[in-house]
Structure 1
């Protein structure tokens, strides 16, 4: 039986000790769409952009974005572009943290609408009819 070679997560070396091809730099672009709350004047996309710039950790340190991670904004959308392994889940975590800090976490949620896009949406509140409330 042939021995299966696994790649080491740290370097481009194959786990069997043989030198493999170097890992290509990964470039990912995530989007946080804040269109609905920005239209309702509840939050500003500029505030979320600033929060992400100061709270994204690179090599275990905040404010260490350098050239490898960029946070930009176009109208009501915030873009995070990274040239290193980066988790989409981390963007969701930081966005939820921002909503909690702004005391909006009880009214809004972060939903994945596509593969690399998150959307800020309102919770669906059940509305009672006047007839059922009076009875």
Structure 2
């Protein structure tokens, strides 16, 4: 039998920046971190993070480090679900600011009101 080649472990690091809404006290970063701990699935099961996924908080940023193949899109999906659950989805949106970073930003409502007039 031929030896099994080990696949290179793809490590990925994603950052979710919640600074703007957290400074305005409409977003709870600690609750969002707990939500991610409870909801992220590894091998099809929740509460199975182990060493595969590490979630940390630094100020108003959440850092997700994965030692397994992990999708950035999955983090966006979970962030949008959390916003909807807390009824702030109408005011906040999740935007990719660079390759490994998301930001929570306010919708630009002032420009919409000027266009209506």
> Structure 2: any 5+ residue segments left out of the alignment?
none
TM-score (norm 1): 0.79
| Equivalent residue number for residue 85 of structure 1 | 69
For 1:79 and 1:100, locate their aligned partners in 2 and report how far apart those are by CA, in whole Å: 21
Report 1 or 2 for greater relative contact order, CA contacts < 8 Å, sequence distance ≥ 6: 2
State the TM-score, normalized to the length of structure 2.
0.90
| Equivalent residue, structure 2, for 1:127 | 113
Which has the larger Rg? 1
1:109 is paired with a residue of what secondary structure?
A: strand
State yes or no: 1:57 paired with 2:41.
yes
**Which is richer in helix?**
2
SS of the aligned residue for 1:121 comes to strand
Q: Could you list the per-position Cα deviations for residues 11-38 of structure 1 after superposition, in whole angstroms to 9, with x for gaps in the alignment? A: xxxxxxx878431111100000000000
> d(CA) in 1 for partners of 2:46 and 2:77?
15
SS of residue in 1 equivalent to 2:79: helix
* Match of residue 30, structure 1, among 5, 11, 14: 14
Any gaps of 5 or more consecutive residues in structure 1?
Answer: 1-17
The alignment status of 1:94 with 2:78, answered yes or no, reads yes
